[in-house]
């Protein structure tokens, strides 16, 4: 540094910069001043994009989405813009083989465009695309579409009130698309209809006469006098009584795969409240006990289901504590030697009994797993010992059965009413079926070999 100059520190831009002081001219040029950077100000309140805020769910072809699809107008930070007039148009994403029916254009109200009658056709999976002039488009999540045939039939129980009240109810049959509703039998509390393997008959349990209005009727109450009946699936002919000779209640009937036998739950000791698994011939003869619990006072065996080869029965083993809490297991018995083995270890149980049966296990058509209900919803237990898979997380799910194609029918409470739903075997694609209003229970899909549709009408009202 030249003599006579003293260094001087100047605070500039967050650091000390050394300069020269004193006489003479410094040859080091001064740095150019920095231009200030303008801050980025989010465009809050200015419409810039669309977003699906109610996504399309799995649906039946030709049936509107439920709940309705909603598209929201948003600004750059994702806030809803309520003041800008926007018209939203919706369509299937490119490449879809089906079509989209209903109102495809909707004006946003308070920033939300609602499409209440959108109904896809064809077979998914699909996605929806929402567009509006000057805004970034939105693409929905993928959704499935079920195509139902009028030749597919579903049996179920319909009641105007809760399943626990002794109000008159009816065994119904409808085409899978909701058409052709027909009453097969109306009487007291009814439940658990199941198709014969040839699709020509229905077996179910319940009362042969309607009780006084709103009389409580639990299926373990001997005063209910629950029996098992067989009816023609078309509603013709007479009702066949199978268990009138039994002193106490019988319920949960299930046809064997070859149609020659019926397994069911029987309350064989009224005093000790004891329940066993029984098997009888399809005409009600040859009744025999195949499994009963060691502790009659606290343990119940109920809700049997056949393996596809007819050699095994799976059923629910419920143990009820003094405080009313219940734990269950799923057991399997070999009909050849009555050996028992556990399939599902103890799990918490929420009571979901109708007046005529328990929501118990159901064997899959391919024999690889058993569907059952726990306190969280529906689950499947593989027969190969691999991990149990929880399918749903709605505690109201239950009364499940398999379709011949390996999908699952079940009930779920929606808006205070029990409604029939369908889903894939892995728990995806949950969709509500077209069905009559009210409480609908115990859905069962007709066997694949059964053909023919139903036409609206009424069946018998008394046995």
pLDDT in tens, 174-232: 999 889 999 999 877 788 999 999 999 999 998 766 555 555 555 555 556 788 999 99
- Domain membership of residue 380 (yes or no) is yes
- Same domain (yes/no): 228, 98: no
Q: Which two tokens stand for residue 355?
A: 């007046």
In a domain, 457, yes or no: no
DSSP assignment of 95-160, as one string?
Answer: T-SS-EES--EEE-BTTEEEETT-EE-SS--B-EEEE-TTSB-EEPPPB-EE---TT-EEEEEEES
Q: Quick one: 73 and 57 in the same domain? A: yes
- Return d(Cα 125, Cα 79) in angstroms, integer: 30
Q: What pLDDT shows up at residue 327? A: 79
Tell me the helices (H) and strands (E) count for the chain, helix number first: 0, 41
Rounded to the nearest 5°, which phi and psi values hold at 222?
Answer: -60, -25
pLDDT tens readout for residues 361-371: 999 999 999 99
Q: Angle at the Cα of 209 (from 203 to 212), degrees rounded to 5?
A: 135
Instruction: State how far the alpha carbon of 184 is from the alpha carbons of 230, 255, 329, in Å.
Output: 11, 18, 34
CATH of the domain at 64: 2.60.40.3960
Q: Give the closest residue to 191 by CA, choosing from 175, 207, 180, 176.
A: 207
The answer on 374 and 281 residing in a single domain is: yes
| Domain span holding position 112 | 49-146
Q: Let me know whether 226 and 334 are in one domain.
A: yes
CATH code of 236's domain: 2.120.10.30
The model's confidence at residue 149, banded by pLDDT at 50, 70 and 90, is: confident
- Asked if residue 218 and residue 134 are part of one domain, the reply reads no
26 within domain boundaries? no
Both 241 and 353 in one domain: the answer is yes
Domain assignment present for 35: no
Same domain for 122 and 195, yes or no, is no
114 and 240 assigned to the same domain: no
**Per-residue pLDDT tens digits for 332-371:** 999 998 899 999 887 776 554 444 445 689 999 999 999 9
Stretch 242-268: mean pLDDT: 91
Would you say residue 106 lies in a domain? yes
Domain count, the chain: 2
Last-in-domain residue among 120, 146, 172 = 146
| Boundary (domain end) residue, out of 100, 129, 146 | 146
**What is the rounded average pLDDT for all residues in the chain?**
83
Quote the strand ranges of 274-311, DSSP E.
274-281, 288-291, 299-306
Please indicate, yes or no, whether residues 285 and 209 belong to a single structural domain of this protein: yes
How confident is residue 272, by pLDDT bands cut at 50, 70 and 90? low
Residue 225 is encoded by which pair of tokens? 């006098």
Using DSSP's 3-state secondary structure scheme, residue 83 falls into coil
Judge whether 37 lies within some domain: no
What 3-state DSSP class applies to 224? Answer: helix
300, 218 contact by CB (below 8 A)? no
Burial-class residue 389 by CB neighbours within 10 Å (0-12, 13-18, 19+).
middle
In the predicted model, is pLDDT for residue 7 greater than 90?
A: no
For residue 7, tell me if it sits in a domain.
no
User: Which CA distances in Å does 243 have to 250, 296, 319?
Assistant: 7, 22, 26
List C-alpha distances in Å: 401 to 192, 296, 461. 10, 28, 26
CA distance 69 to 54: 5
State the first-to-last Cα distance of the chain, in angstroms, to the nearest integer.
Answer: 118
- Token duo for residue 143: 């959704």
> In the listed set 94, 122, 146, which residue is the last one of a domain according to the structure?
146
Rounded to whole angstroms, how far apart are CA atoms 462 and 208? 7
Q: Do 171 and 307 sit in the same domain of this protein? A: yes
Residues 326 and 343 in one domain: yes
300 and 431 in a single domain? The answer is yes
Would residue 272 count as lying in a domain?
Answer: yes
The pLDDT value recorded for residue 449 is 57
Least confident span in 96-105, 351-360, 425-434: 351-360
């Amino acid at each position: 540094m030249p003599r006579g100059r003293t260094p001087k520190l100047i605070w500039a831009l967050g650091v000390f910069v050394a300069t020269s002081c004193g006489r003479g001219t410094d040859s080091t040029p001064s740095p150019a001043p920095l231009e200030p950077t303008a801050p980025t100000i989010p465009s809050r309140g200015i419409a810039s994009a669309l977003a699906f805020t109610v996504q399309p769910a799995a649906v039946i072809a030709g049936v509107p989405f439920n709940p309705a699809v909603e598209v929201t107008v948003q600004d750059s930070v994702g806030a809803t813009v309520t003041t800008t007039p926007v018209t939203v148009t919706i369509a299937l994403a490119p490449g879809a083989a089906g079509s989209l029916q209903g109102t495809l254009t909707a004006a946003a109200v308070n920033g939300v465009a609602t499409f209440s009658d959108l109904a896809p056709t064809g077979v998914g999976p699909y996605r929806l695309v929402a567009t509006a002039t000057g805004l970034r488009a939105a693409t929905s999540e993928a959704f499935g579409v079920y195509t139902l045939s009028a030749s597919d039939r579903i049996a179920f129980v319909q009641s105007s009130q809760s399943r626990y009240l002794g109000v008159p109810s009816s065994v119904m049959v409808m085409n899978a698309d909701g058409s052709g509703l027909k009453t097969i039998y109306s009487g007291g509390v009814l439940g658990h209809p199941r198709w014969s393997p040839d699709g020509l008959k229905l077996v179910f349990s319940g009362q042969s006469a309607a009780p006084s209005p709103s009389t409580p009727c639990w299926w373990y109450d001997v005063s209910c006098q629950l029996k098992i009946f067989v009816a023609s699936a078309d509603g013709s002919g007479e009702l066949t009584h199978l268990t009138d000779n039994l002193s106490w209640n019988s319920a949960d009937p299930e046809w064997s795969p070859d149609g020659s036998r019926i397994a069911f739950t029987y309350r064989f000791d009224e005093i000790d409240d004891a329940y066993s698994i029984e098997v009888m011939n399809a005409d009600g003869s040859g009744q025999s006990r195949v499994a009963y619990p060691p502790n009659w006072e606290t343990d119940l065996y109920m809700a049997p289901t056949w393996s596809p080869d007819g050699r095994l029965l799976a059923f629910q083993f419920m143990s009820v504590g003094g405080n009313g809490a219940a734990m269950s297991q799923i057991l399997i018995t070999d009909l050849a030697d009555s050996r028992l083995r556990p399939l599902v270890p103890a799990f918490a149980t929420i009571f979901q009994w109708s007046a005529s049966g328990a929501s118990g296990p159901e064997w899959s058509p391919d024999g690889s797993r058993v569907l059952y209900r726990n306190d969280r919803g529906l689950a499947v237990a593989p027969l190969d010992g691999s991990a149990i898979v929880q399918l749903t997380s709605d505690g109201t799910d239950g009364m499940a059965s398999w379709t011949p194609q390996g999908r699952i029918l079940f009930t779920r409470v929606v808006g205070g009413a029990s409604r029939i739903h369908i889903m894939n075997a892995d728990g995806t694609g949950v969709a509500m079926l077209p069905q009559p209003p009210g409480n609908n229970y115990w859905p069962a899909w007709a066997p694949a070999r059964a053909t023919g549709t139903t036409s609206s009408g009424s069946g018998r009202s008394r046995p």
